[in-house]
Structure 1
Amino acid sequence: MATALIFAGGTGSRMNSKAKPKQFLELHGKSILIYTIEYFELNEEVDNIVVVCLADWIDTLKEQLKRNYITKVKSIVEGGKSGQESIYNGLKEIYRNSSNPDKEIVLIHDGVRPLISSQLITKSIQSVREFGSAITVVPVKESIISTDDSDKIQKIHKRNNLKMARAPQSFYLKDIWYVHNEAIKDNKSNMVDSASLMMEYGYKLHTIDGVEENIKITTSFDYYIFRAIYEARENSQILGL
């Protein structure tokens, strides 16, 4: 059993869009969030989808799911005050309905990463079955510099030892549910992502290579990059390239 947890509870303050949250911005009549969900809907190894959504936009999402013939979304839950809390709300819903948390796999993915691939989803599930986790990464292409509080360079890191974490981040339900509950007990509420939370509680994590274009749409510039990549993909299919 594999369940996708899509979190889309952010307001998109850096997008400068006053009318809609970033996940509901549209391209060719379809929202970014629906583009994301469709990849999990069409992957045969994904059984269910749970979406964490802004409370005021749940009805809009329900209408979009119906209009786009999405059938795997079993629950829509309200987001929390932080990304960590939003993911916990989704996990709580998945755990409540799970018949076997020890074997169920959860793929945690940003609703504003619509350029994922079906191959990456399948690879994530296979990695969890083999290694217990799957953290999507891509190589670092620029030099990474550490500075002190006065902006003086402390270290220039070797790029061959560095990678950027992306999504999905995938685990067995029992493991990610356990660390979230431990974090609540320990009053740790601002972890950067699920991988950081798992490492905080001693789990060794396995990485898988992601796709470069699977960017997170955070700013207006990101949206234009998404549009360009999506249209290039569409044109290549039409032209048979």
Structure 2
Amino acid sequence: MPLKTAGNIAVIFAGGHGERFGNSDIPKQFHELSGKPVIVYTLEHFERHDKIDGIVVVCVDSWISRLRRMLEEFRISKVVEIVPGGATAWDSIFAGLGCATKYFSGESVVLIHDAVRPMIDSGTIDRNIETVKRYGSCITCYPMTENIMGNRPNGMTAISDPGELLIVRAPQSFFLNKIMAVYEKARQEGNVPFRDCCSMMSHYGEQLRTVTGPAENIKITFPSDFLMFENMRKVTDL
């Protein structure tokens, strides 16, 4: 793909092994439902979106060759490169962003998404792109509906009204040059790793805008989450 002056690129994080998913030699993003791996369901949302110009996948090193075969089998053509994951998720995403700079200019919008969030929708992708272009950032969230308590040494303590809280999800989207600059600053100052990109951007004073994603846009972390995905597939066209 030739260098573009600007575009919209998805960086898909598939670098984890999913230790909390259970005893398995297969990373959770490669578990199959109806003969199709979870990561492929995720990639298809970006592949089919007319505003996405390219995809970078950060993958478990030992699974890269198998992922290439999956891309061919399921006709995923927008992936410009697959890069191996780093020691942490934070390092892995930095590697993916660095790869994106080879194909897209700094004015491009980058959407950072988890391979194990296969229940994203096109409207959320649209709103991420539009919000970044207007405000410079976009964090996909979902309203907190249950009460939250803090587990303190002296007992449980109420944190806040649930109506004031948001569950942070993905995509988390920014201008490519902006997030690369903040990543570089964090690395130079030794402030690594952050839990996610929005935590890092907030730490360095960046104003963050949010959009509400679909309720089902969960991260598949435990076997029960995979069961939820399976059930959602039966009643929707996700």
Which TM-score applies when normalising by structure 1? 0.94
Paired residue for 2:44, among 38, 46, 54?
38
Instruction: Report the CA distance between 1:162 and its aligned residue.
Output: 0.5
Instruction: Report the CA distance between 1:176 and its aligned residue.
Output: 0.6
Distance in 2 separating the partners of 1:19 and 1:11: 9
Q: Which residue of 1 aligns with 2:103?
A: 97
1:116·1:214 contact (CA, 8 Å) conserved in 2? yes
Amino acid at match of 2:71: L
Moved over 6 A (4+): none
Instruction: Report the CA distance between 1:27 and its aligned residue.
Output: 0.3
Paired residue for 2:200, among 193, 197, 217?
197
Paired residue for 2:66, among 46, 50, 60?
60
Task: Determine if the alignment matches structure 1 residue 15 to structure 2 residue 21.
Answer: yes
Distance in 1 separating the partners of 2:159 and 2:65: 48
Amino acid at match of 1:145: M
2:10·2:54 contact (CA, 8 Å) conserved in 1? yes
Task: Determine if the alignment matches structure 1 residue 77 to structure 2 residue 80.
Answer: no
Alignment of 1:163-178 (within 5 A): 163-178=166-181
Instruction: Report the CA distance between 1:61 and its aligned residue.
Output: 0.3
Q: Secondary structure at the match of 1:175?
A: helix
1:51·1:90 contact (CA, 8 Å) conserved in 2? yes
Instruction: Report the CA distance between 1:187 and its aligned residue.
Output: 1.1
The worse-fitting range, judged by mean Cα deviation, of 126-135 and 185-194 is 185-194
Q: Which residue of 1 aligns with 2:149?
A: 145
Distance in 2 separating the partners of 1:218 and 1:188: 26
Distance in 2 separating the partners of 1:53 and 1:128: 26
Instruction: Report the CA distance between 1:19 and its aligned residue.
Output: 2.8
Instruction: Report the CA distance between 1:199 and its aligned residue.
Output: 0.7
Instruction: Report the CA distance between 1:183 and its aligned residue.
Output: 1.0
Instruction: Report the CA distance between 1:151 and its aligned residue.
Output: 5.1
Paired residue for 2:122, among 101, 104, 118?
118
Task: Determine if the alignment matches structure 1 residue 29 to structure 2 residue 35.
Answer: yes
Q: Which residue of 1 aligns with 2:220?
A: 217
- In structure 1, stretches of 5+ residues that fail to align are none
Instruction: Report the CA distance between 1:225 and its aligned residue.
Output: 0.6
1:147·1:155 contact (CA, 8 Å) conserved in 2? no
Q: Which residue of 2 aligns with 1:2?
A: 8
Instruction: Report the CA distance between 1:231 and its aligned residue.
Output: 1.4
Instruction: Report the CA distance between 1:232 and its aligned residue.
Output: 1.2
Amino acid at match of 1:5: V
Distance in 2 separating the partners of 1:217 and 1:169: 17
Which TM-score applies when normalising by structure 2? 0.95
Distance in 2 separating the partners of 1:33 and 1:151: 43
- In structure 2, stretches of 5+ residues that fail to align are 1-6
2:145·2:163 contact (CA, 8 Å) conserved in 1? no
Q: Which residue of 2 aligns with 1:233?
A: 236
User: What is the count of residue pairs matched by the alignment?
Assistant: 232
Instruction: Report the CA distance between 1:153 and its aligned residue.
Output: 2.4
Give identity over the alignment, percent: 39
2:142·2:168 contact (CA, 8 Å) conserved in 1? yes
Distance in 1 separating the partners of 2:200 and 2:224: 30
Amino acid at match of 2:151: T
Q: Which residue of 2 aligns with 1:161?
A: 164
